[in-house]
Amino acid sequence: MIQLRGTIAVLPPPYTQADPTPFLQLTNVAAPGSSKASYDLTFDPDFSKQSLLHIFYTAGTPNHDRVSRFTADAD
């Protein structure tokens, strides 16, 4: 689950409440409500072996779209 201001949270079963400890905190994200603030997250097709995820978001300064790749820790 991606929250405003770039906080990525895990939504464990039964998928009703996010884990209080953020999984990842993006920095330099566009302010919520700005004309270009966007977020999207996708898992690598081979996530079970490589643990890679890709996050699309709008950076704050300079204001442009960005795709970043992260590696998830097994824990």
Assess whether pLDDT exceeds 80 at residue 3.
no
- Helix ranges (DSSP H) in the chain: 47-50
For residue 33, what pLDDT is reported? 65
Total domains in the chain come to 1
Assess whether pLDDT exceeds 70 at residue 74.
no
**Distance in angstroms (rounded) separating the CA atoms of residues 67 and 30:** 14
The model's pLDDT over 12-71, given as tens digits with 9 standing for 90+, comes to 899 898 888 988 888 888 876 665 667 889 999 999 899 999 999 888 878 888 899 999
**Distance in angstroms (rounded) separating the CA atoms of residues 11 and 26:** 17
Note down the domain range covering 31. Answer: 2-71
Phi, psi of 42 (to 5 degrees): -140, 145
Q: Which of 39, 48, 58, 51 is nearest to 1 (CA)?
A: 39
Please tell me the pTM assigned to this model: 0.74
